Structure 1
Amino acid sequence: MCGIVGIVGKDHAEQIIINGLQRLEYRGYDSAGLFVSDEKQEYLIKSQGRIKNLQEKVANDVNGTIGIGHTRWATHGKPSEENAHPHTSQNGKLVLVHNGVIENFEELSQKYLAGEIFYGQTDTEIVVNLIASFMENDGLSTKAAFKKAITVIRGSYAFALVNKDEPETIYVAKNKSPLLIGLGTDFNVIASDALAVLDQTHEFVEIADNELVTVTADKVIIENQDGETIQRDSYEAQLDASDIEKGTYPFYMLKEIDEQPTVMRKLTQEYRDDQGNVNIDQELVKEVADSDRIYIVACGTSYNAGWAAKSLIETVTQIPVEVQLSSEFGYNMPLLSKKPFFIFLTQSGETADSRQVLVQTNRLGFPSLTITNVAGSTLSREAKYTLLLHAGPEIAVASTKAYTAQIAMLAILTQAVGEIKDKKANASFDAFHELSIAAAGMEAMVDEKDYLANLVEQYLSTTRNAFYIGRGNDYHVASEAALKLKEISYVQAEGFAAGELKHGTIALIEEGTPVLGIITDDKTGPHTRGNLKEVESRGANTIVIVSEDLAREGDQVVLPMVHPLLTSLVSVVPTQLIAYYASMQRGYDVDKPRNLAKSVTVE
């Protein structure tokens, strides 16, 4: 998710915006820009790359009392200054920043802007010119034209709009994408995350979807689609040093689920060089490529992530992969191949069960890699190699973004190894491209919160047990989905290979038992549907989570299309939200489930 920061009513708006954008760097981005003005001058400054590049372009004489800024991750159009935000209308009057994706931008362009030539390739440029066209052709005010544009746009968005002829006003609207108003004394700010502007204010006002907000230095006016003014109390963001990453989310887990698309983009940013190649230690890549078997060693969610990546690694590298539970492997080590390579998956890097395996493999002289979210952790220090997840702090006990980050990190490593093993055969798997598509798909799923919350209320609000089923990689996601549900909602949930449910466990199905089927493979999908029919005939209430190309009428959760080896990145997201809402609707502490800890440092 991109970042937005804006302010009106305070000198040196440019520096406040840059400071705010720097606090949002964790989201991942490929370009940044800002627009500021005062009564005399206006400045539009953009830069590809890091925010420091933008700051270097802001001259000492730049000063503004109103401004909007943005960090962008490319969705429509390549990373470039032309595609960076803010975007300006062709008449030069309107300036717009935007988070989200406009689904019908091509339709809007053909219907309202036919024949116009655009500077870039973004959906945002279409929107700012759409608003300008409504002003010019329909004689509407800025606010009225903005409001009309919102009524014809489909998709997710957080907008901040400035008309250069109205240098004291920022117009704001959102749908599905986060945006807040921060209240100050003789100034007000806007931000996609409270963290960005905590140096300016701790008092915030929430914005609901489809509302239009007029922000000036001394007032904030919120209106609904009917033009009625909405009165909404502000709240104080109670954030301290240990809490600050949570922002204004009610629970860390929800924030961390939302951050997963950003983590995909951050990993791409960290591990791709300027030529677009994988930027990983070549000695590491060569050692993996030279091995005759890869052993993934992990616990809990990380273990499930290893299984989710197994077929990806084997398909691209042609190296066999075993996934082993740390707690079992250390005391019951199987016969090893002649040239094994060990990969330890761990969010914290402190997992005692995994460390005792690493101690043994080090003693035996086998090469090892730790993939972790914590630099300098024990497993990171003691393994020969380390790859960091760059996912930002994961505070909730139930891991979400570390799971998807581990799969993504393995995908990037897999590409590098595959290129060494057989460049020609594996040129078709571009991890960076596929992770970008997956990030967009994940973003679409995190936007379905309200729908999934209602689904949970309908199917899981009172149940004491539930089953996830799937085949192949869907089975591995089912295992992770069940783990999440049981971890935080205390529903007795199990993940099964769909074909195995009938070999005994179907005896547990009774009237009203929820059974959730995951279907992303065209070869096994019909069989899983058959298994769902079997449990339905025994009284089960079924939910189908299915890829778009395999969906049928009546399926409840439809997933965007991604690479068939990376479907787990998208299919797991609704299951995470299902677990979250199942816990929240029961009134539990989502982030701190009973009897569990974030980092398990005992065997």
Structure 2
Amino acid sequence: MCGIVGILGSGDVADRLLDGLKRLEYRGYDSAGIATIDGGEIKRRRAEGKLVNLARKLAEEPLPGASGIAHTRWATHGAPTEDNAHPHIAGDVVIVHNGIIENFKPLRDELIADGRKFLSQTDTEVVAHLVAREVEKGSDLRQAVATVLPRLHGAFALAVMLKSEPDLLVGARLGAPLTVGYGEGENYLGSDALALAPLTQRIAYLEEGDWVAITRTAVEIYDRANDRVERPIVQSGASGQLIDKGNHRHFMLKEIHEQPVVVAQTLQSYLRPLEAQVALPDMEFDLAAIERVAIIACGTSSYVAMIGKYWIEQFARVPVEVDVASEYRYRDPVLTPNMLGLVISQSGETADTLAALRHLKVGGVTTAGIINVPTSSMAREVDLLLPTHAGPEIGVASTKAFTCQLAVMAALATNLARAKGKLSPEEEREIVRHLAEVPEAMSDALSRDEHIAGMAPRIAQARDVLYLGRGPDYPMALEGALKLKEISYIHAEGYASGEMKHGPIALIDDAVPLIVIAPSGPLFDKTVSNMHEAEARGAQVVLISDADGIAQAGENTIATIEMPKVHPLIAPLVYAVPVQLLAYHVAVAKGTDVDQPRNLAKSVTVE
């Protein structure tokens, strides 16, 4: 997910623009750039790779100017080169862009036929030329942008400046977030509140289809019909301090170790220990009337959805379907009355999930969202917001957001079960007790950090790794495999343990580590039986289980990771910790970029 910062300041803005970009590094990017307007000229610096490269250029060639825009780019159209880095310039127009212009090819062909020359392979440069052409016809910047916007298909957030209007910054959004910041004699534009936090706490969120004209003293917002509108100014609450790693080597490790605290914070907003109940926020629909649930998510969040399916069907006896968001609309799903559409997203801006949510709403479906950013597009559009309290997650590979989502999913499953009359007060009391045990059990799991680090170099030598689990531990196997390949670049696959003999067992030899997630309990014997089949064929097994499970099945393994003995309900939250730590330490052993792995973005805001 690319990042945008724009400042109309009272002095030179390049340093503050660079600081804003640093606050957006967590999103993932592969090039960056800044442009200012100074003395009637557009001045620009761009660089491939990390912001340190851009900072070095700015130190060598400073950028004066009190008006500027900046960008971190995650490559879509065109390789991550300096020529393709933003900002892009066409004529007197300079522009930065998040998202994808889906119809850029016919627009580009039209512009080339009109004699315009392109210097990059990006879709963004098309927008710059379209605006520049309108300016050359006599339009001012506002008119030019308003004319061009209806021609753009896809998802975008734009920040545009014109050399001859240095006191004006124009922004627009469709399918990608954009935020206006209000200052004293200065005003700002940014991808989110975090980017603007050092500059201002007074912000307004542009709504879908809005565009905005910003000067140093005024902000004018227009809807897609070009009618002047007001959007509420709110306090962002985002910290003005750059988030740091503390004493940890990487943000990912810090965020893994934060989980007992943030999961406790999340559970505190849902558990009522004195009443022995699990509560949800107030809602305008009857949970008891829900007859079917569709859960839609991407990536790690989709594994939360899969675990949620086990829980909701087990406790509430309500049928659940789970879809990856990128496929949901395209299979033309059947939408029915008394259906709950549940979306899960850390950022609340994931493009595919947001599109699925809107598809549900058009179909008249009641919607809910498990979301970490309460001001995001999804959070504002769902009928019931179920917030997590993970705080900002900087590492691209999700950790604390995942476990907080699981905590909220457990609360939803419990409430739905009670509403459907499937849960006695005694059973709910037991659920509350077990959920309250999660933070302590996670802290216990974190005490295995050094032990897991010691075994990681052996796993780091593998080219392929398999993960096994059964029941709710099957999605945990998928999550473990995803974490490993995301940050260590080792090919990994997760399987339901009973599926091993249906094909994957052919991959087993003494060079393939097999990570088995098997807490003792009703499914333990079945999983261990499959594990023994793999061991008989040379598999190098790492068993993650509690003391009882390891005593029973750990004899022929190359390593074991002992977990506290916990109730099956909370096992996915607790067993997430060793899965995350193993991926982290393997990546460190391989020397990869743990927090910003190659080709990945924190939030995917394009399809």
Match of 2:283 in 1: 283
**Residue matched to 1:562:** 566
Classify 1:427/1:419 alpha carbon distance in 2 versus 1 (closer, same or farther; 3 Å): farther
Structure 2 partner of 1:297: 296
Deviation at 1:258, TM superposition (A): 0.7
Distance of 1:487 and 1:529 partners within structure 2: 27
Matched to 1:305, the amino acid is: V
The residue aligned with 1:128 is: none
The Cα of 1:471 is off from its aligned counterpart by 1.3
1:596 is aligned to: 600
Alpha-carbon spacing, 1:596–1:274, altered in 2? closer, same or farther (3 Å): same
**Deviations 1:500-537 (CA, angstroms, capped at 9, x unpaired):** 12212222222221001111253332222222222222
Instruction: Give the Cα separation in 2 of the matches to 1:563 and 1:319.
Output: 22
The one-letter code of the counterpart of 2:593 is: D
Partner of 2:364: 365
| Cα distance, 1:337 vs structure 2 | 4.1
Matches within 5 A, 1:20-39: none
1:75-113 deviations in whole A, cap 9, x for unaligned?
Answer: xxxxxxxxxxxxxxxxxxxxxxxxxxxxxxxxxxxxxxx
Measure how far apart 1:578 and its partner are.
Answer: 0.3
Paired residues in the alignment total: 362
Q: In the aligned structure 1, how far is the partner of 2:568 from the partner of 2:599?
A: 37
- Indicate the SS of the match to 2:516: strand
* Higher RCO (CA < 8 A, seq sep 6+): 2
The amino acid of 1:453's aligned partner reads: A
CA distance in 1, matches of 2:346, 2:424: 32
Match of 1:161 in 2: none
User: For residues 563-587 of structure 1, what are the alpha-carbon distances to aligned partners after superposition, in whole Å with 9 as ceiling and x for unaligned?
Assistant: 2122111112101000000101111
Cα pair distance change 1:456/1:383, threshold 3 Å: same
Between the aligned partners of 2:406 and 2:367, the Cα distance in structure 1 is 17
Assess if the C-alpha contact under 8 Å between 1:264 and 1:436 holds in 2.
no
User: Are 2:351 and 2:605, in contact at CA under 8 Å, matched by a contact in 1?
Assistant: yes
Cα distance in 1 between the residues matched to 2:280 and 2:337: 25
Displacement of 1:318 after TM fit? Answer: 1.9
- The 5-angstrom pairing of residues 324-473 of structure 1 reads 324-422=323-421, 425=424, 427-430=426-429, 431-458=431-458, 460-473=459-472
Provide Cα deviations, 1:37-94, integer angstroms capped at 9, x if missing partner.
xxxxxxxxxxxxxxxxxxxxxxxxxxxxxxxxxxxxxxxxxxxxxxxxxxxxxxxxxx
Distance 1:411 1:245, change over 3 A: farther
Q: In structure 1, what is the equivalent of residue 232 of structure 2?
A: none
The yes-or-no answer on 1:258 pairing with 2:257 is yes
Deviations 1:448-481 (A, max 9, x none): 11100112123x0211110001111111110011
User: CA offset at residue 374 of structure 1?
Assistant: 0.5
What's the CA shift for 1:418?
2.4
Q: Is the 8 A contact 2:305 2:344 kept in 1?
A: yes
1:373 shift after superposition: 0.6
> Counterpart of 1:12?
none
- Given that 2:343 and 2:369 are in contact with CA atoms closer than 8 Å, whether structure 1 keeps it comes out as yes
Tell me how far apart the structure 1 counterparts of residues 501 and 271 of structure 2 sit (CA, whole Å).
Answer: 46
Match of 1:551, SS? helix
Aligned partner of 1:525 in structure 2 is 524
Code of the residue aligned with 1:587 in structure 2: it is G
Distance 2:490 2:566 in 1: 30
* Alpha-carbon spacing, 1:318–1:463, altered in 2? closer, same or farther (3 Å): same
Is the Cα contact below 8 Å between 2:288 and 2:420 reproduced in 1?
yes
SS at match of 2:569: helix
Q: Please tell me whether the aligned partners of residues 316 and 429 of structure 1 are also in contact (alpha carbons under 8 angstroms).
A: no
My pick for the range that moved more, 332-341 or 319-328, is: 332-341
Cα deviation for residue 279 of structure 1 reads 4.1
Q: CA RMSD in A?
A: 2.0
Output the CA distance in 2 between the equivalents of 1:268 and 1:432. 10
2:465 match: secondary structure: strand
Superposition pairs of residues 11-50 of structure 1, within 5 angstroms: none
Q: Secondary structure at the match of 1:360?
A: helix
1:326-373 superposed Cα distances (whole Å, 9 cap, x missing partner): 011121133344421011000010000011111111111111011111
Change (3 A) 1:416 1:524: closer
Give the corresponding residue for 2:230: none
Equivalent-residue separation in structure 2 for 1:505 and 1:274 (angstroms): 45
Structure 2 counterpart of 1:438, one-letter code: V
Aligned partner of 1:587 in structure 2 is 591
Distance 1:485 1:300 in 2: 13
1:295 Cα offset (Å): 0.9
Q: State the match for 2:214 in structure 1.
A: none
Q: Is 2:335–2:365's contact at 8 Å kept on the other side of the alignment?
A: no
Give distance in 2, aligned partners of 1:521 and 1:451: 21
Tell me the amino acid that sits aligned with residue 248 of structure 1: N
For 2:427, what is the secondary structure of its paired residue?
coil
**What one-letter code is carried by the residue in structure 2 that aligns with 1:445?**
A
Q: What whole-Å deviation, never above 9, does each CA across 1:257-297 have from its counterpart, x for those lacking one?
A: 1111112210122234585444423435x533311111111
Provide closer, same or farther for how the CA distance between residues 481 and 549 of structure 1 changes in structure 2, counting only shifts above 3 A.
Answer: same
Q: The residue matched to 1:599 in structure 2 has which SS?
A: coil
Give the Cα–Cα distance (whole angstroms) in 2 for the partners of residues 529 and 462 of structure 1. Answer: 25
CA contact (8 A) 1:264 1:435 kept: no
Residue matched to 2:538: 539
Q: 1:443 & 1:266 partners in 2: Cα distance?
A: 14
Maintained 8 Å contact 2:337/2:365: no
Q: Corresponding residue for 1:308?
A: 307
Shift of 1:548: 3.6
Q: What's the secondary structure of 2:286's corresponding residue?
A: helix
TM-score, structure 1 normalization: 0.57
Amino acid at match of 2:505: I
Corresponding position of 1:67: none
Which stretches in structure 1 are left out of the alignment for 5+ residues?
Answer: 1-239
Report the residue type matching 1:374 in the other structure. Answer: V
* TM superposition score normalised by structure 2: 0.57
Query: How far is 1:424 from its partner?
Result: 5.5
- Cα pair distance change 1:451/1:255, threshold 3 Å: same
Write the letter of the residue equivalent to 2:441. Answer: G
Provide the secondary structure at the position in 2 that maps to 1:502: helix
**Letter of the aligned partner of 2:296 in structure 1?**
V
CA–CA separation in structure 1 for the residues paired with 2:464 and 2:482: 12
Which residue type is aligned with residue 454 of structure 1? G
Aligned counterparts of 1:500 and 1:576: Cα–Cα separation in 2: 23
SS at match of 1:463: coil
Residues 217-228 of structure 1: matches in 2 within 5 Å? none
